[in-house]
Amino acid sequence: MGNIKSPISEEFIRENYQRLSFSENELLQKKVGLLATMFPPPWTDPAKLDKVVRKRGARSLQETIQDSPTLLIVIYDSRKRAPASEGDVLGIMSLGCEMENMALMAQSLGISFHITSAFSANAAEKKVKRILDIPENMKIAFACRLGYPTAAPTKYLRVRRDLEDFAHDNQFGNKQRMLQDP
């Protein structure tokens, strides 16, 4: 799988640029998003994105999975879907819940768990499915790198929005305090 190429998604980088904060104070004010220091510097400058994507082109999956002793590929049958679920939204949501459960269990065991989207990109998915002899009707939903960390993970500031920032009381737009003291 190491020779399979996976393009860098310029769209992914551009969409996530909107969620970047360039200081801890900005992140604390926004209460949502990520610190730009988590990404390579050229990825945090929209003027340089086109150059980054052209220069890097496509990465090999080897870059994505190197140093990972275990790779978990989660597949689903595209012919089956949850009842009343157009496009199988409920099925994909269920897989996401299962991934969260696996990530929480891995963390409790001291195992690093990193979900990567490179394997579900069309060109890469076709090649991975051929290598692993995965039937055509099966789709790659997620791929995860698992392994024991060799160093302590970098700690980044994490923030949570207050409930009042996104909850509404009895009707949309009513931003009264949701949790009032008795």
**Domain residue ranges of the chain, discontinuous segments joined by +:** 1-66, 67-152
Please tell me the pTM assigned to this model.
0.66
- Architecture per CATH, 67-152: 3-Layer(aba) Sandwich (3.40)
Contact between 15 and 43 (Cβ < 8 Å) = no
Rounded mean pLDDT, 68-93: 79
Residue type present at position 23: S
pLDDT level of residue 89 (50, 70, 90 thresholds): confident
Nearest to 155 by CA among 45, 31, 37: 37
DSSP letter string, 49-105: HHHHHHHH-EEEHHHHHTT-SEEEEEEEETT---TT-GGGHHHHHHHHHHHHHHHHH
Question: Rounded to whole angstroms, how far apart are CA atoms 48 and 36?
Answer: 14
Top pLDDT among 75 and 166 is at: 75
Averaged pLDDT score across all residues of the chain:
78
